[in-house]
Amino acid sequence: MLTWCSVFLACAAGCGNLLGIGDLGVANPNGVDAAQPDGGAPGDASGVENDQRSVEVSLDAGEAPDQSGIGAVTVTDFNAGFPRGSVFGAFNLASQVPCTYSTYPVADAGSCRYTACSSLPAPANLSAGMLTITGGLPDPLVVPMADAGGAYSYQTNQSIFGGADTIGASWSGAEVPSGSASVTAPPGYLFMTMPEAGTSVSIVPTTDLPVSWTGPAAVGTKARFTLQDVGMLRLLQCDFDLTASAAVLPAAALENFGGNATLSLVATTEATVSVAGWTFALDVQLNANQSATVNFLCSGVGAACDDAQSCCSGLVCVAAGACAMPP
């Protein structure tokens, strides 16, 4: 799983859907969590995270960037009675991301990534040249940049792909290396059963949060639960094997939250690859607009607080306005 704070924040500030579009990111502040391809030759899938995905990357002489960077393309199909589709892409220098990252391994073949950002920036996106999506409708689809230095964005009031379609993305390269990737879309939509979509649940952030879902399963496709606080500066993403159908969000990650947060679910298939200091990702999602509200009965470590009464037992509210262990 790739958690990319800068793309998520950029989309959260300007996309119609805050959750499920552009929520990819850097796995750690030092670089990437994807395997390095041996030379990046076209058709070489050695940088792919599982056998359901194929990635091609090319880097011409003179294209190597001076700094490491992050690029992500998210293709999302929605269905909440009114089908619609969206493509979001952004390419940034890693140094522009004011975020820290933590990883939490969990049971049921899952993993969680917690991202905390000190601000909600509008990062200066770099040009990746022409961004083209294939396998959907229309085919091919050329995605325009919003403006010079902006993100790539496309939205339509119709479905742009179906379950198990092969979706590809390619970028011709400009300020970032050129490349391409393709994945098999998830087989169908997922639906939350715990907590039930449209409901709210109240918990103490020092306990696990059970989650469950229904929907078709396929090798390589994940159930992705995303927990986002009201201020959009704290983000928890947990990916689980679809065959599990139930899992838990770990207390070790939830203790970073306080107040209210939105929990959402999508089916996702993702491919990541690294080349010349850059990490690229293609994420294809089916989003049934399933979400619930999580009310935290107290604030955990690092969560905002007004006074000591709002912090969980054993914590104090420090001058910076956050709960912390007592000195």
Q: pLDDT tens across 147-159, in order?
A: 655 789 999 999 9
**pLDDT tens for each residue of 313-327:** 889 999 778 889 998
**pLDDT tens for each residue of 42-55:** 333 333 333 232 23
Domain ranges for the chain? 5-296, 301-327
CB contact at 8 A, 101 and 27: yes
3-state secondary structure of 6: helix
Ranges 71-80, 103-112, 146-155, 213-222: which has the least confidence:
103-112
**pTM of the prediction?**
0.78
Query: Quick one: which of 264, 6, 262, 227 has its CA closest to 114?
Result: 227
pLDDT value, residue 67 = 66
Banded model confidence at residue 232, pLDDT cuts 50, 70, 90: low
Rounded Cα gap, residues 180 and 168, in angstroms? 7
pLDDT value, residue 246 = 92
Burial of 51 (0-12, 13-18, 19+ CB in 10 A): exposed
Residue 127, both tokens? 């040009």
